Structure 1
Amino acid sequence: MEIISENAASLSNYEVFVHLQKIKESRKKQKGQLATITYETLRYLEETSCKNQNPEDITQCLKDLEEFNLNKSEKLMLVNTPPATPLEIQLMIEESEERLSEEQVQTILSILAKHFPHLHIVKTEQEDEENLD
């Protein structure tokens, strides 16, 4: 495989999910490895948060996050796997303790909860199950 363009944009999980769904639904049936890769990747992405996302929420979320001076890869991680705790933000954002105050971290969490509310419901259910054990 040859790299054609090093500056190609990174895709979010949602964009990959939509693209693979189009490939799967196309009248042209894929054969061999492409069909397997498409099937397996779609199966994985259906279990992630991207299946409940939409372009409008992602766009608005990115606009709301502009004030925090996050780089592209950090924004991509926040959209692909929206954190629910300050610890998760600390793991995703480089030098977050120096770059962000506790108030800013809480603001980021509330922005993500506003645009991706289904994530926090799922996490809460998982936490409830853990508490029962």
Structure 2
Amino acid sequence: MEVVEKTHALLSNHEVLSHLRDIQNGTNDQRKPGRNQQNLATVCYSTVKFLEQTPAVSQSVEIIENFMQKIEPFNLTKAEKLQILNLRPTTQVEIQLLVEECEERLSEDDIEKLLQIVQTCLTTNDQESS
């Protein structure tokens, strides 16, 4: 997945992880941090190590696209979709915290359907066993 507009994009954790790995490896037209860019190298390393402990590591472009298609009927904002993708809410309360004016925009059935989509599209085998 390619970052189209580097200064104006909302990125998922998966996209950030992919981009930082490209920087670290010097792939996809990204330059590895040089000796005089030790701070950049440190930030990249620390962020990658953190994101490798999150569900972003098990996501793929296909999983994200499938998820985004399935939640389209809920008329969520880009930021709300991104938050749900990154945080993978498991309760109605979490959805209500992520969706602005949730009570007016989504019924209880809608929230349950949304939670079901999150569970079926975004839950990995590792998460199910823990």
TM norm structure 2: 0.83
Q: How many residues align?
A: 119
Q: Whole-Å Cα distance in 1 between the matches of residues 83 and 127 of structure 2?
A: 18
Identity of aligned residues (%): 39
Q: Could you tell me which of 116, 119, 122 is aligned with 2:127?
A: 122
The match for 2:64 is: 58
Indicate yes or no: 2:14 matched with 1:24: no
Indicate yes or no: 2:111 matched with 1:105: yes
How far is the alpha carbon of 1:62 from its aligned partner?
A: 0.7
Q: Could you tell me which of 36, 61, 85 is aligned with 1:79?
A: 85
RMSD: 2.1
Residue type of the partner of 2:61?
P
Q: Whole-Å Cα distance in 2 between the matches of residues 61 and 14 of structure 1?
A: 13
Q: Whole-Å Cα distance in 2 between the matches of residues 29 and 99 of structure 1?
A: 45
Q: Which runs of 5+ in 2 are unaligned?
A: none
Indicate yes or no: 2:43 matched with 1:34: no
How far is the alpha carbon of 1:29 from its aligned partner?
A: 4.2
Cα distance change of structure 1 residues 26 and 87 upon mapping to structure 2, 3 Å threshold: same
Query: Which deviations, in whole Å up to 9, do the C-alpha atoms of 1:13-72 show, x marking residues without a partner?
Result: 100001111111228542311100100110111111100111111011111111011001
Q: Whole-Å Cα distance in 1 between the matches of residues 8 and 129 of structure 2?
A: 37
Q: Whole-Å Cα distance in 1 between the matches of residues 128 and 98 of structure 2?
A: 18
How far is the alpha carbon of 1:122 from its aligned partner?
A: 2.7
Q: Which runs of 5+ in 1 are unaligned?
A: 126-133
Cα distance change of structure 1 residues 29 and 70 upon mapping to structure 2, 3 Å threshold: closer
The match for 1:13 is: 13
The match for 1:47 is: 53
